[in-house]
Amino acid sequence: MAEIHIQLDQDRCKGCELCVEACPRDVLAMASHINALGYQPVEVVAAERCTGCRACYVVCPDVVFTLTRAA
């Protein structure tokens, strides 16, 4: 399923982990580094598993995600 492209605006992420919990496919995890806001941001750890279900986008309070599907 590599056709889904997850674009992360990591510098907006506040590390709340809600997307990680919401992702049914364990695509996401928290990174170990600190971003400009002082939080550990989310990162994509298994892009290939993504189904494009949009859960991450929907639950994220900080509009970190842009999801696209290759046409």
Which residues contact ligand SF4 (rule: CB under 6 A)? 6, 13-19, 22-23, 25, 27-28, 41-42, 50-56, 59-60, 62, 64, 67
49: left (phi over 0), alpha (psi -120 to 50) or beta: alpha
Binder to another protein among 1, 21, 45, 46 (CB under 8 A)?
21
* Least distance from ligand SF4 to the Cβ atom of residue 70, Å: 14
Burial class (CB in 10 A: 0-12, 13-18, 19+), 36: exposed
Q: What is the C-alpha to C-alpha distance for residues 65 and 6, in angstroms, rounded to an integer?
A: 7
Binding positions for another protein, rule: CB under 8 A: 4-5, 7, 11-12, 14-18, 21-22, 37-39, 52, 54-55, 57-63, 65-71
